[in-house]
Amino acid sequence: MVLDRVPLHPIVEPVQKKVYIESYGCQMNVSDSEVVASILAKDGYTPVKSAEEADLVLLNTCSIREKAEYTVLQRINEMNNLKARNKGLKVGVLGCMAERMREDLLEKKKVVDLVVGPDAYRTLPDLLEKVGTGQKAVNVLLSREETYGEIEPVRLDTNGVTAFVTIMRGCDNMCAFCVVPFTRGRERSRDAESIVRECAQLVRDGYKEVTLLGQNVDSYKFASPQPLSKGEGLSEQHISQEKVDFADLLEMVALACPTLRIRYSTSHPKDMTDKVLAVMARYDNICKYIHLPVQSGSSDVLKRMNRGYDRAWYLERMASIRRHMPDCAISTDIIAGFCGETEEDHEATLALIREVQYDMAFMFKYSERPKTLAARKYPDDVPEDVKGRRLAEVIETQKAASAQRMLGYVGQLHEVLVEGVSKRSAENVFGRNSQNSIVILPRYADGVELTPGTFVKARIDSATPGSLKGSIHSIVSTLALPA
Ligand code: 5AD
Ligand code: SF4
């Protein structure tokens, strides 16, 4: 009898481990999760689309308001059921809650194996090795230098059209209500060349839009140790430049990637310069949209919030935006019921909303956060029902302002970048105009399907406070080149 030959050296397939990363909170967390996926890819992990399939579940968390933390704490509890079904499963908490709660998180939530703060992701492979031996692992060290600059992110949940690129980390502003300086540490800017390189790679990978991310992009500052090397489209002026501010960076990306639409977030009213506005106005591929959080319309409240500007300064910045770009859309963040906010202060916020006419706003009830200046210095003295009523009034006022702005677009021709099929109807697609409004369009134009990534000239036919509806005027295969 002849036996099948058994190889002397059996071939051992490398074990492919599977990671599922769930991101909460801001766009920065989505971007960080892509850095984490890249670090883990080198350690043999492939990203999967559900927690049920994974060997490792990572929750990239947000601490900005108590409610955000509560949502994550509920989700951590659900991990107990998953672990009961999958004994080998490991669970990690990343991001702001990891930084804020540290070892306490392991104590309070036994299901958690791993706690890693936003500046410690490079140590994930070592920490996971420790977790593999049955121990718990923590690293919440903050850094003054870490920017993950050279790490090429693994794009997760991508539509293949729009992507985020982080340009700076941390925040030095110390707004009285905000926990971010405590969870994300000191501000530092990423090497300008690595940002331009990442954007150019996005173009090669077929992406059509990038959002440059930072807590306060207007204070981006990078001092190149040597003159920048010659890259695509960079002018002599940029190449010899050693200090790059945000306006310079925007221009560098606009020039290096003329077919890429460029957005950014978040601006700070105290730091937003006319130089940035002039660059935005100069390049067609920089979107005419600014997210400029005001937080309150009352100068007294702004002072207590430690925002570094007053109502008059903010309105002057608004006027400057309109002078540079009459077609620019503006959105904002507003907090209702901050410590000591009076009815008069609240009315000032409502009046500001009516005056500015934001296209869109994110609106919140004040939520006291441990360690912040406000938590230490001011009583959280606006009663919960008053906060609720004021927030409702802010939302109502903003809805009317949005409706006005959106109605103003009816009849205009807008360039829309198609992102995908509408969730409401398979007959329609959705995309965004330069002003960042959602535009719904018919999916087919003369029998041609509008696939994600297509630029369309659309006529705006109707508007709701949240979106626009349009018809196709013409298909432009690529973004108009900058002037
Ligand atoms: N309570 C309510 N809203 C807050 N934000 C930040 N901290 C708090 C807080 N403690 C809001 C601000 C900020 C946005 C990201 O979240 O409006 O701009
Ligand atoms: Fe928080 Fe203010 Fe920094 Fe924004 S600018 S992250 S609100 S401290």
Q: Whose CA is nearest to atom 13 of ligand 1?
A: 333
Q: What is the pLDDT of residues 106-116, one digit of tens each?
A: 998 999 999 99
Residue 64 Cα, ligand 2 centroid: separation in angstroms? 10
Residue 307 Cα, ligand 2 centroid: separation in angstroms? 9
Number of domains in the chain: 4
pLDDT of residue 231: 55
pLDDT at 34 over 60: yes
pLDDT of residue 416: 97
Q: What is the DSSP letter of 45?
A: E
The reported pTM is: 0.92
pLDDT of residue 14: 60
Residue 261 Cα, ligand 2 centroid: separation in angstroms? 26
Between CA 89 and CA 61 the distance in angstroms is 19
Question: Closest by alpha carbon to 116, among 152, 150, 141, 134?
Answer: 141
pLDDT of residue 395: 98
Same domain, 268 and 335: no
Q: Can you tell me the mean pLDDT for 452-477?
A: 92
Determine whether the shortest distance from the Cβ of 295 to ligand 2 is under 6 A: no
pLDDT at 204 over 50: yes
pLDDT band at 157 (very low <50, low <70, confident <90, very high): confident
Determine whether the shortest distance from the Cβ of 335 to ligand 1 is under 6 A: yes
pLDDT of residue 16: 86
Enclosing domain of residue 89: 17-139
Same domain, 441 and 423: yes
Residues 6+ apart with CB under 8 A from 159: 419, 420, 452
Q: What is the pLDDT of residues 411-449, one digit of tens each?
A: 999 999 999 999 999 999 999 999 999 999 999 988 889
Residue 168 Cα, ligand 2 centroid: separation in angstroms? 13
Q: What is the pLDDT of residues 63-81, one digit of tens each?
A: 999 999 999 999 999 999 9
Q: Can you tell me the mean pLDDT for 354-372?
A: 97
Between CA 76 and CA 61 the distance in angstroms is 11
Q: Which ligand is nearest to the CA of 367?
A: 1
Q: Which of 24, 65, 100 to mutate to test the pocket of ligand 1 (most atoms within 8 A of CB)?
A: 65
pLDDT of residue 6: 47
The residue type found at 438 is I
Q: Which ligand is nearest to the CA of 363?
A: 1
Same domain, 438 and 423: yes
Report the CATH number that the domain containing residue 38 is assigned in CATH: 3.40.50.12160
Q: Which residue among 378, 407, 436 closes a domain?
A: 407
Residue 429 Cα, ligand 2 centroid: separation in angstroms? 35
Same domain, 276 and 163: yes
The chain-wide mean pLDDT, for the chain, equals 92
Same domain, 102 and 216: no
Treating both helix axes as pointing N-terminal to C-terminal, what angle do 274-282 and 311-324 enclose, rounded to 10 degrees?
20
Q: pLDDT over 90 for what percent of the chain?
A: 88
